[in-house]
Amino acid sequence: MLLAIIILIFALALLAIGVNAIQQHKQRAELERRQQIYRYRNILDETEDLIILASDFPLGKALLHVLRCRARDALKLLVAVQPTVTDLQVRLEEYEQAVNSFDPNDKALLVENFTIPEQDKQIVFMLQGLKKIRRSLRAEHSRNRVDSQTFHEEDRRIEKTLLRISAESLIRRGEAAYLTGMIGSARQYLEKAYRTLNDVGFTDEYIVTKQAYIKEKLEEITASLRAANAKDAKKRNEKSAIDELFEPKKKW
């Protein structure tokens, strides 16, 4: 009888351990599933934000295709861990259609006429967004999801757009400073803009045109400073002559 009781207690203990192990396994599996959902959802949300952002820049449609493929892949992973969510399946089908409709021979840009905003906050936002797009492009290329030719073409377009935003922003500041009489600040902004254009590892029509424009502006500033210095020197000489004229005569 005692032996039977001991065996029963031992069996119940084993059962409790087994049930507890199963519960812990289910909890770990559910936690892992939630972590996957969170990770895939973040990738999807970030990529969709980049798709919207990229549509405002003179970038190629191939880049948009790369981002759509990234969003589609994130949706596939989400559908795998949330197969009962019909909304995800619908969105996945929409991305599949967009990806399949891509024409690799279409070399048109997403935006032909690109306007740089006036506000500094908007400019900073654009620069940060472009850098995020560039990081995503490079990440996809490192995973062999983008061919080298497409990668180099789109990376160069991003670089040119970043350069254009930075240079135009500095030139605007220089021009504004010049109009308000802050000649020294104007020269610093324009010289920095020229260095920004000069430091890149390539040249094109935009760079050549802007460098010529900046040189012309710097020459105007130099001429303006020379004129101002000459005017000040003339005033000092005239003042010295007047002071000397009215200086008390010395008695010998």
pLDDT(163) > 90:
yes
CA distances from 194 to 166, 174, 185, 203, 211 (A): 11, 11, 14, 13, 6
Whole-number Å distance between alpha carbons of 81 and 120: 42
Mean pLDDT of the chain: 85
- In the prediction, which pLDDT does 246 show? 46
- In the prediction, which pLDDT does 18 show? 67
Query: Which is more confident, 211 or 201?
Result: 211
pLDDT digit string, tens, across residues 75-88: 999 999 988 888 99
pLDDT(233) > 70:
no
Confidence of residue 252 (pLDDT cuts 50, 70, 90): very low
Give the count of beta carbons closer than 10 Å to the beta carbon of residue 63.
Answer: 28
Q: Name the nearest CA neighbour of 104 among 149, 143, 158.
A: 149
- In the prediction, which pLDDT does 2 show? 61
- In the prediction, which pLDDT does 245 show? 44
Q: What is the pTM of this model?
A: 0.78
pLDDT digit string, tens, across residues 115-138: 888 888 999 999 999 999 999 999
Q: Where are the domains of the chain?
A: 15-103
